[in-house]
Chain A
Amino acid sequence: MSETNGPAEPERQRGDDLMADLAASGSEADEGQARHRVIGTPAPAQARTLLADQSDEPVAVRELPADPEDLPGAKRAERAVAASFTIAMLAGLGFIACYVIFRVHTVNNVLHSNLALGLTMAVAFLALGTGAVIWVRRLMPNVELTEQRHELRSTPENKAAFAKTFEEGAEASQFVKRPILRRTLIAATVPVAIAPVVLLRDLGPLPEKSLDHTVWKRGTRLVVYGTNRPLTPAEFNTPGSSLSIIPEGYADNDDALAKAATTLIKFGPDEIKAPTVMNWTVDNIVAYSKICPHLGCPAALYEQTTHHILCPCHQSTFDAARGAQVIFGPASRPLPQLPLMLNAQGFLVAQSDYHEPVGPSFWERS
């Protein structure tokens, strides 16, 4: 104990001297300011404490009236409050009863159920609130009470006791006596504290141009995901069809597929509307990126009746018949359309890569 405390003693003395110097210079500055006080500003406070000194006078005894002044009026108010609370209770029971009574297996029944549940709940809350307001305004006393705050600062005795306990604890825990324990503990915690900072490295490196393009290029055949078979428009000819397709030769390249996955949809005649790019369709067959432009989930829940493409993660909904425009949800732009054409053998192939980056926004997206 004495060994470790020894060198610290002169330090503390030096610190005390420094504080004394600062205090002296501070008081000089105060006097200077007081002399050059700007007219119209308040004078510096005389007292140095934030709170008034705690007076020794006993705090006035809290006295609340035992009864309201207008006793007959209070009786009426009491009845009104009790009536309100009774109504609230009945409405609450009615809510439960309505929930049990109304079956909700058809649209009409749901409407009736909602009306009954809403009405009973509204009446219950309204009556409860009305009763509470009448109670407060008519029955509770209207008296202002003042409660003095106690001083926030601890007493010198408490401070000294705390310091003593702290020092005793430090000594009893052997933390001070055994430097090897102390130093290895610090050595053990420092790497754990630094680890989260090291993880910040994952914020980089920036993707730069790597997300701008997919592996689709002019002449890449569209193949069925799972069987890797190329497609002709004659095979994919039933309106309402939808298939997951990938670029030929990349079936086992997950990095490539993560960007190049595409949904192929066959429409009936005249079902495709602007702003779908008609030059990029073949025989009413349209291809859209499968990667949601919101956060990159596979948006492939295609409904052939409504032509909606739904993303299951955040319910972004795209109208496949109208250029995959966003009609609901957080996505900020349509699914990119893949330009299609036929090759010499009559298979569906890409005209080019997607004309804009697929998937969610990123730092350097142009």
Chain B
Amino acid sequence: MSWITSRRRHPAAGYAILFLGLLLVGALYASITGGGAGAAAAPPATVDSAQISQGHTIFLQDCATCHGTGAQGQPGVAPGLIGVGAAAVDFQVSTGRMPAAELGSENPRKPPVLNTAETHAVAAYIASLGGGPSIPGAAQVSESGANVGLGQQLFVADCAQCHNFVGAGGALTYGKFAPALTQATPTQIYEAMLTGPEAMPVFNDATLTPDQKRDVVAYVTGVRSEANPGGFSLGRIGPTTEGLVAFLGLLLFMVLVAIWITAKHGKTKTHE
């Protein structure tokens, strides 16, 4: 305490407090906005008639209000689900986007309502109505052996325009947005490419092969643990924040230099 007491009236004390305060705010912000770890998805359960009937029951409870009792959809409210496939259902339900809370321009990610078994049951029911892509297995989304370099090339060519080059997300038209990919599991990223949820374009297996999808998944999940060369991620949205921080930082530096220059009293002599 005496150390602080003796120095608290020092001319530099105010600057030190300001610096510590800025550091604290920055650290808090970084800890709040830090990316979450992606959990590995469970492998899809085997399809059987009991699972389909369980899925039908859950569908009638949680989905049929908007999508119709036969999953035929309602014009202007919800799309028909016949033929969308198990992968689309698993993506929408496991990311919490479905069941939707309200009719908006876009459904945001939220904690899922159904557990994995229930989700797979509904997916099996929808798949039984008519084909569509199925839920990828663990091997299809495994990062081991994936070509991350090619994944980055493909991501930059076809995904980064909306999702940002490290998957930080971005705005689209009329209230829609490309979500950040920081919480998406490898399975969910794979399913999104395969099914094209909401405004996102579809990348079928002929244009982007399963191996190439795995490369993209490996890039998206791998880039999360990339070091930030400057020490702070600054939201990872590119030159805007970096420029702002550089501008404000240099401004502060120049102010301090100006103070230092004018504060040098030692050599000046007063002439009458």
Q: Which residues on A are within 8 Å of B, measured CB to CB? A: 106-107, 224-227, 231, 234-244, 265, 298, 300-306, 308, 310, 312, 315, 317, 328
Who on chain A is nearest to B154 by CB? Answer: A226
Among B196, B204, B207, contact of A304 (Cβ-Cβ < 8 Å):
B196
- 17 pairs of residues in contact across A and B, judged by CB atoms under 8 Å: A106-B102, A226-B150, A226-B156, A235-B206, A236-B206, A238-B196, A239-B202, A241-B196, A242-B201, A298-B161, A301-B170, A302-B201, A304-B196, A304-B201, A308-B172, A308-B173, A310-B173
- Beyond A107-B102, A235-B207, whether A303 also contacts B158 by CB under 8 A is no
* Interface SS majority for chain B: loop
| Chain A: minimal CB distance from B189 (Å) | 17
Who on chain B is nearest to A309 by CB? Answer: B173
- Residue-by-residue, is B156-170 near A (CB-CB < 8 Å gives 1, otherwise 0)? 111001100000001
| Chain A: minimal CB distance from B172 (Å) | 6
Verify A304–B172 contact, CB threshold 8 A: no
Verify B104–A107 contact, CB threshold 8 A: yes
| Chain B: minimal CB distance from A328 (Å) | 7
| Chain A: minimal CB distance from B159 (Å) | 10
* Interface SS majority for chain A: loop
| Chain A: minimal CB distance from B45 (Å) | 26
Who on chain A is nearest to B79 by CB? Answer: A305
Verify A227–B150 contact, CB threshold 8 A: yes
Q: With an 8 A cutoff between CB atoms, is B200 at the interface?
A: yes
| Chain B: minimal CB distance from A45 (Å) | 47
| Chain B: minimal CB distance from A283 (Å) | 14
Verify B202–A226 contact, CB threshold 8 A: no
Verify A226–B153 contact, CB threshold 8 A: yes
Verify B154–A301 contact, CB threshold 8 A: no
Note all chain B residues with C-beta closer than 8 A to A317.
173
Verify B172–A242 contact, CB threshold 8 A: no
Verify A244–B201 contact, CB threshold 8 A: no
Note all chain B residues with C-beta closer than 8 A to A225.
153, 157-158
Note all chain B residues with C-beta closer than 8 A to A241.
196, 201-204, 207
Nearest 4 pairs between A and B by C-beta?
A: A242-B201, A303-B199, A235-B206, A226-B153
Note all chain A residues with C-beta closer than 8 A to B204.
235-238, 241
- 6 further contact pairs, Cβ within 8 A, besides A243-B158, A305-B199: A298-B161, A303-B199, A304-B196, A304-B199, A304-B201, A305-B198
Who on chain A is nearest to B199 by CB? Answer: A303
CA of A242 to CA of B193 in the docked complex: distance in angstroms?
11
CA of A316 to CA of B174 in the docked complex: distance in angstroms?
12
Note all chain A residues with C-beta closer than 8 A to B172.
301, 303, 308, 310
Note all chain B residues with C-beta closer than 8 A to A310.
172-173
CA of A98 to CA of B194 in the docked complex: distance in angstroms?
45
Note all chain A residues with C-beta closer than 8 A to B170.
301, 312
CA of A240 to CA of B207 in the docked complex: distance in angstroms?
13
Q: With an 8 A cutoff between CB atoms, is B109 at the interface?
A: no
Note all chain B residues with C-beta closer than 8 A to A227.
150, 154, 212
Note all chain A residues with C-beta closer than 8 A to B201.
240-243, 265, 302, 304
CA of A108 to CA of B223 in the docked complex: distance in angstroms?
38
Note all chain B residues with C-beta closer than 8 A to A235.
204, 206-207
CA of A244 to CA of B153 in the docked complex: distance in angstroms?
11
Note all chain B residues with C-beta closer than 8 A to A231.
207
Who on chain A is nearest to B200 by CB? Answer: A304
CA of A242 to CA of B204 in the docked complex: distance in angstroms?
10
Who on chain B is nearest to A298 by CB? Answer: B161
Max chain A Cβ within 10 angstroms of own Cβ: one of B150, B157, B170:
B157
Max chain B Cβ within 10 angstroms of own Cβ: one of A234, A265, A308:
A308
Q: With an 8 A cutoff between CB atoms, is B176 at the interface?
A: yes
Among B157, B198, B202, contact of A244 (Cβ-Cβ < 8 Å):
B157
| Chain A: minimal CB distance from B158 (Å) | 5
Verify A243–B207 contact, CB threshold 8 A: yes
| Chain A: minimal CB distance from B22 (Å) | 26
CA of A226 to CA of B160 in the docked complex: distance in angstroms?
13
Note all chain B residues with C-beta closer than 8 A to A302.
201
| Chain A: minimal CB distance from B179 (Å) | 14
| Chain B: minimal CB distance from A260 (Å) | 14
| Chain B: minimal CB distance from A41 (Å) | 57
CA of A225 to CA of B155 in the docked complex: distance in angstroms?
10
Who on chain B is nearest to A303 by CB? Answer: B199
Who on chain A is nearest to B178 by CB? Answer: A301
